[in-house]
Amino acid sequence: MGLLEANQDTMPRAAHPLSLGEIVENGLCIGCGLCRSIATPDAIEMVMTPEGRERPVARQALDRPTLMRINAVCPGTRIAGPPPARSGETTLMDTVWGPVERLVLGRAGDPSVRFIGSGGGVLTALGQFLLSSGRVKFVLHVAASHSQPMRSETRLSFDAASMLEGAGSRYGPAATLVDFGDILDRGEPFALIAKPCDITAVRNLARLDPRVDEYMRYALAFVCGGASDLSKSEQVLQRFGLAEDELALFRHRGHGNPGLNRIETRDGRAFELSYRQLWEDEDKWMIQPRCKICPDAIGQVADIAVSDAWLNGGPAVEDEALNGIIVRTRRGLELFDAAVETGALEIKRETGIAEISELQSHQVRKRRAVWARLKGMAIAGKPVPFVTDLALGDCALQNSLAENLAEGRGARDRAHRGRLGEPPAAPRKSRTVQSC
């Protein structure tokens, strides 16, 4: 990390903040929508692009203070891990996995929650517990759109039933933070369940807006394998000869671990794919560019991060309902203990870094690779995020020199060929665009 940061002088970035277009076209945008919330809807519009990504488009020239603020909070330009002071207070600080207060395999206590939810239903159960216990007024999360069920939309849940309705993984673009300013304006305690990069964005905003720490009582993350384009789901429709406007249901997974990708049409037809069938062709995963250089897909700045825990090494068949639960903060530990005590969560057994690294080996490989990938991009003359407190250099030291050179050269070459960037953001012209 030190080498990377030593070569990333923040003064030029401060003097010349990246424009919205530069953030998008250099592959740094993840489509969280926080920039729109900062600049107001009149200044920035979120559009669904031809590639199947939600991206911001400036409706008018953005003034310098607005661009400075966007650059300060965007999870594509600034990615900060847990502050160093916190490491001295944490039970364990692992080079790859970061701060750990508790590490267990567990699940929702309610059998229906763990069946409907993805994996073991832990995030749904925690959201329900936060609401029923009165710790928060509402939970901000993402759920399937009622009007366009293949797409995801921001949702505020005020009760357990709403949380359960939004259960299950969503593979595709989601502008989780598009109305975050309005959320803060409510002046009510809430929890956020989101991708690690979304939580990074909100933690960045907390440095500028004290209301974040005042009202966001808990931040819960799922360990993320990458956000896919909407085009990935559209490929599934093409497989069955369906159009999006025919859909009544598009469930990526859930109703089991991992459960089936299930599609239902308005006229009563149903189609299913197994999880392995959905993801069998790695060339068609369509993961967004920002995900390929993500230094924190494991939610180090969340209070609790929750992962899949397929004991078979992958979901060849339906597995036991189970999640890996990484408790990262003292606040998260108090929440976890209370949820276990009331039966909202149940523990199967304690686990450790060695086992979670085996269950999530792809996350270990990525953490070790990101330092070199960012160096390669920088050598290619591309802007890279300013990364702090995520031990990227130490992770890279776990590789051989040959491995780091291969990652760096590969990223440099892909950057030169434009494969780590994307076209200028523009709305689709021939398809229905979801309003944000």
Reported as a single tens digit per residue, the pLDDT across 189-244 is 999 999 999 999 999 999 999 999 999 999 999 999 999 999 999 999 999 999 99
For residue 172, pLDDT beyond 50: yes
The DSSP H or E segment spanning 214 is helix 211-215
Q: Is the pLDDT of residue 101 over 60?
A: yes
- What pLDDT is attached to residue 305? 98
1-7 average pLDDT score = 37
- Are the C-beta atoms of residues 199 and 299 closer than 8 Å to each other? yes
User: Where do we find the tokens 């020239």?
Assistant: 61
Residue 312: its pLDDT value, please? 65
* The pLDDT of residue 420 is above 90: yes
pLDDT of amino acid 281: 74
Q: Is the pLDDT of residue 88 over 70?
A: no
pLDDT at 74: 98
**pLDDT at residue 311 greater than cutoff 80:** no
Mean pLDDT for the stretch of residues 44-57: 96
pLDDT digits (tens, 9 = 90+) for 357-390: 999 999 999 999 999 999 999 999 999 999 999 9
Please check whether residue 277 is in contact with residue 240, taking contact to mean a CB–CB distance below 8 angstroms.
no
Q: What is the DSSP string of 33-100?
A: -HHHHHH-TTTEEEEE-TTS-EEEEESSPPPHHHHHHHHHH-TTTEEE-S-HHHHTTSSEEETTTEEE
By C-alpha distance, which of 175, 231, 201 is closest to 32? 175
User: What mean pLDDT is predicted for residues 57-82?
Assistant: 96
Percentage of residues in the chain with pLDDT exceeding 70? 93
Task: Give Cα 82 to chain centroid, integer Å.
Answer: 17
Q: What mean pLDDT is predicted for residues 185-191?
A: 98
**pTM assigned to the model:** 0.93
Burial 344-379 (b: 16+ CB within 10 A, else e): bbbebeebebebbeebbeebbebbbbbbbbbbbbbe
Q: Say what the pLDDT of residue 316 is.
A: 73
pLDDT tier, 165 (very low <50, low <70, confident <90, very high otherwise):
very high
- The pLDDT of residue 434 is above 80: no
Mean pLDDT of the chain: 92
pLDDT one-digit tens code per residue, 237-296: 999 999 999 999 999 999 999 999 999 999 999 999 998 888 887 666 789 999 999 999
Cα separation, 375 vs 88, in Å, equals 29
Q: Which residue has the tokens 């030593």?
A: 6
| pLDDT attached to residue 282 | 63
Pairing of strands 216-222, 304-308: parallel
pLDDT at 150 over 70: yes
The predicted pLDDT at position 398 comes to 98
| Confidence band, pLDDT 50/70/90 cuts, at residue 317 | confident
Cα separation, 98 vs 80, in Å, equals 12
- Sequence-ordered alpha helix ranges (H) in 242-360: 275-279, 330-341, 353-359
Average pLDDT over residues 31-53: 94
